């Protein structure tokens, strides 16, 4: 395992941080693609914790689970760039290789491939092995101004706020306008657009259509891009409900770049939705090894445990995530886990903790569900009435009502709102096979037909009953 630590920006201009951070991410991608069988590379989100760090290599290696560290710096002017890189062994800080490169900006992508090759050779020499490696660079080098726009977009996309995702997409659009043959910019644009749909920062159907077009264009230019396969897999999964085709793209992405943590992470979620929990946990663990400090990967590991009805483990995992970042929205899932485990006081306390951070519809639907599961029907119905009043002022997503009515086990209303969610192509549809919220509907032909229409038909409920005696076809749990 290798950790590419954040390249130091020696330009003297904080406005160039996007360039040094972008170079770091590109090196992670290129080194990870060169020797997939023998060299794993820690993901960007984890290594960025050590930006400007003074911690010794041994400690960094231990925290990241990496045996080797790549240290580097970058200095650039209008037309040229100087990159220094040093490969060290974490346990004893032994220098295995170091070099300085002076190049024109137009040759930066080729330079990264050259550095990746030399790093791989140095590590293989240190281990006394020699394995075939492949070039991570494909196709002609992009125009230098297009590549700069691409790096700016990547810098913003990694921040994951709504505004930054929008701005990142704009930079990627400019990059492909400058160079329509820049496959990686098309792949990045697809990622930004599909995340925009997931985060609901724009019209989902419009964003999905654009994301699909961008991913297809990226793969037409370069079929070896793991990022494009991963984006396309998520689109096919969430919006086409073609689970076999989505899995094919996830697996292809992982084969192309086994160090791409996002592919393992999203594939783990894919397996979870299909009820393949053991496989999902294995993929989630692989994602964690590649991105050990990622809280969203840890939180989604808790989600897998929750849907697998391993409630105590899910609670422990999600509480540890919340302790590290009280604002991480995925930890909001703790409310459902507590409610489904019969811990209603804890669920209500958790909901009160999150209330200042969530929109009113989420607040009232959570209360409706928890009160309903606790048998406090009058309070649950009051919460649902608050949702109805909100919907009179602004349209609400159907899944909000579906989950609320599931709390009070109202079969007719839950099915009616799930049908509306189906018409909306809601992300709630991906949960139908495994969500405890809908266990009281299992066996109802109308619900089973809906599950079939989403491509998730099967006998998952029998497996779920074997996993936990708390799951009942008459008692919905979430």
Domain boundary among 127, 150, 169: 127
**Residue range(s) defining the domain that contains residue 444:** 359-478
Q: Is residue 18 part of a domain?
A: yes
pLDDT tens-digit series, residues 383-398: 999 999 999 999 999 9
Q: Give the pLDDT score at 466.
A: 43
Q: Is 77 exposed, middle or buried (0-12, 13-18, 19+ CB in 10 A)?
A: exposed
> What average pLDDT does range 135-144 have in this prediction?
65
* Span 25-39, average pLDDT: 81
Does 415 fall in a domain?
Answer: yes
291, containing H or E segment: none
Q: How many domains is the chain partitioned into structurally?
A: 2
Query: Region 61-82: what's the mean pLDDT?
Result: 89
Supply the pLDDT for residue 128. Answer: 64
Give me the pLDDT at residue 340, please: 97
Residue 463 predicted with pLDDT over 60: no
Question: Which distant-in-sequence residues (6+ apart) come within 8 Å of 30 by Cβ?
Answer: 112, 113, 115, 116, 136, 137
Mean pLDDT across the chain, nearest whole number? 88
Identify whether 256 is part of a domain.
no
Q: What is the distance in angstroms between the CA of the first residue and the CA of the last residue of the chain?
A: 38
Residue 247 lies in a domain: no
Average pLDDT over residues 223-246: 95
Question: What percentage of the chain reaches a pLDDT higher than 90?
Answer: 62
Report which DSSP code applies to 5. P
SS3 412: helix
Report the range of poorest mean pLDDT among 17-31, 219-233, 290-304. 17-31
Structure tokens at 465: 């009953």
- In the predicted structure, residue 54 carries a pLDDT above the cut 90: no
pLDDT score of 131: 53
Q: Quick one: CA dihedral 198, 202, 205, 208, positive or negative?
A: negative
Cα(118)–Cα(120) distance, integer angstroms = 5
C-alpha–C-alpha distance, residues 269 and 160, integer Å: 19
Tell me if 42 sits within 8 A of 69, measured CB to CB. no
Burial of 72 per CB tally in 10 Å (0-12, 13-18, 19+): buried
205's tokens:
């159907």
Q: How many residues does the chain have?
A: 478
* Of residues 194, 212, 214, 213, the one with CA closest to residue 204: 194
User: Within a domain: residue 420?
Assistant: yes
Closest CA to 430 of 244, 260, 241: 241
In a domain, 46, yes or no: yes
Could you say which of 127, 162, 188 is where a domain stops?
Answer: 127
Percent of the chain with pLDDT over 70: 93
3-state secondary structure of 10: coil
The yes-or-no verdict on residue 187 having pLDDT over 60 is yes
Q: Which two tokens stand for residue 35?
A: 């020797």
State the pLDDT confidence band at 462, using cuts at 50, 70 and 90: very low
Collapsed DSSP state (helix, strand, coil) of residue 84: strand
Percent helix, strand and coil across the chain, each rounded to 5?
65, 10, 25
| C-alpha dihedral sign at 67, 115, 8, 18 | negative
Confidence of residue 260 (pLDDT cuts 50, 70, 90): very high
Plot region of 81 (φ>0 → left; ψ -120 to 50 → alpha; else → beta):
beta
Residue 244: other Cβ atoms inside 10 A? 8
Pick from 294, 343, 276, 283: nearest CA to 314:
343
Q: What pLDDT, in 10s, does the model give residues 437-455?
A: 999 999 999 999 999 999 9
Please state whether 84 falls in left (phi above 0), alpha (psi between -120 and 50) or beta. beta
Note the pLDDT of residue 337.
98
Helix intervals (H) in 49-182: 57-64, 108-127, 144-157, 162-178
pLDDT category at 155 given cuts 50, 70, 90 is: confident
Distance CA 87, CA 26 (A): 16
Q: Which of 127, 161, 180 is the last residue of a domain?
A: 127
The span from the CA of 2 to the CA of 24, in Å, is 13
Domain annotation covers residue 238: no
| pLDDT classification of 142: cutoffs 50, 70, 90 | confident
Q: Are strands 2-4 and 68-76 parallel, antiparallel or unpaired?
A: parallel
**Any idea which of 89-103, 114-128, 255-269, 292-306 has the lowest mean pLDDT?**
114-128
The CATH number linked to 71 is: 3.40.50.10610
User: What is the spatial distance between Cα 215 and Cα 392, in angstroms, rounded to a whole number?
Assistant: 38
Q: Is residue 35 part of a domain?
A: yes
Helix (H, G, I), strand (E, B) or coil at 374: coil
Q: What digits encode the pLDDT tens for the residues 93-139? A: 899 888 888 888 777 777 777 887 788 787 777 766 655 555 554 55
**Alpha-carbon 82 to chain mean position:** 33
- Please answer whether residues 226 and 260 qualify as being in contact, where contact means their C-beta atoms are separated by less than 8 angstroms: yes
Sign for the CA dihedral angle at 168, 174, 177, 182 comes to negative
């Amino acid at each position: 395992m290798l950790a590419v630590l954040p390249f130091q920006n020696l330009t003297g201009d904080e406005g160039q941080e996007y360039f040094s951070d972008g170079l770091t991410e590109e090196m992670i991608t290129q080194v990870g693609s060169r020797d997939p069988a023998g060299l794993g590379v820690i993901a960007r989100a984890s290594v960025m914790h050590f930006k400007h760090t003074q911690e010794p290599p041994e400690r960094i290696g231990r925290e990241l689970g990496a045996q080797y560290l790549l240290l580097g710096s970058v200095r650039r002017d209008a037309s040229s760039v100087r990159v220094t890189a040093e490969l060290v062994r974490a346990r004893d800080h032994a220098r295995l290789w170091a070099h300085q490169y002076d190049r024109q900006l137009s040759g930066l992508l080729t330079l990264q491939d050259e550095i990746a090759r030399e790093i791989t050779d140095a590590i293989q020499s240190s281990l006394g092995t020699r394995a075939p490696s492949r070039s991570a660079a494909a196709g002609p080098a992009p125009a230098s101004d297009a590549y700069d726009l691409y790096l700016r977009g990547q810098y913003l996309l990694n921040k994951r706020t709504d505004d930054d995702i929008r701005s990142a997409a704009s930079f990627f659009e400019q990059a492909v306008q400058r160079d329509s043959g820049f496959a990686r910019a098309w792949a990045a644009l697809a990622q930004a657009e599909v995340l925009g749909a997931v985060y609901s920062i724009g019209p989902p159907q419009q964003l999905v259509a654009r994301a699909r077009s961008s991913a297809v264009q990226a793969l037409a230019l370069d079929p070896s891009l793991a990022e494009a396969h991963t984006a396309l897999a998520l689109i096919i999964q969430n919006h086409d409900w073609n689970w076999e085709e989505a899995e094919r793209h996830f697996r292809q992405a992982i084969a192309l770049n086994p160090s791409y943590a996002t592919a393992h992470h999203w594939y783990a979620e894919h397996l979870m939705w299909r009820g393949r929990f053991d496989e999902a946990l294995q993929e989630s663990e692989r994602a964690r090894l590649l991105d050990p400090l990622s809280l969203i990967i840890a939180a989604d590991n808790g989600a897998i445990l929750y849907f697998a009805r391993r409630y105590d483990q899910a609670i422990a995992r999600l509480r540890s995530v919340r302790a590290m970042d009280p604002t991480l929205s995925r930890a909001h899932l703790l409310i459902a886990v507590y409610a489904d485990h019969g811990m209603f006081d804890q669920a209500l306390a958790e909901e009160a903790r999150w209330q200042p951070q969530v929109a009113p519809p989420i607040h009232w639907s959570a209360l409706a569900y928890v009160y309903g599961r606790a048998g406090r029907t009058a309070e649950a119905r009051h919460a649902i009435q608050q949702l109805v009043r909100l919907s009179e002022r602004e349209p609400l997503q159907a899944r909000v009502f579906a989950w609320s009515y599931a709390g009070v086990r109202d079969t007719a209303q839950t099915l009616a709102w799930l049908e509306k969610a189906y018409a909306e192509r809601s992300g709630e549809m991906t949960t139908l096979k495994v969500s405890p919220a809908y266990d009281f509907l299992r066996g109802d032909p109308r619900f089973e037909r809906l599950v079939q229409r989403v491509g998730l038909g099967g006998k998952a409920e029998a497996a779920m009953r074997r996993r936990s005696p708390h799951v009942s076809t008459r008692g919905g749990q979430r």
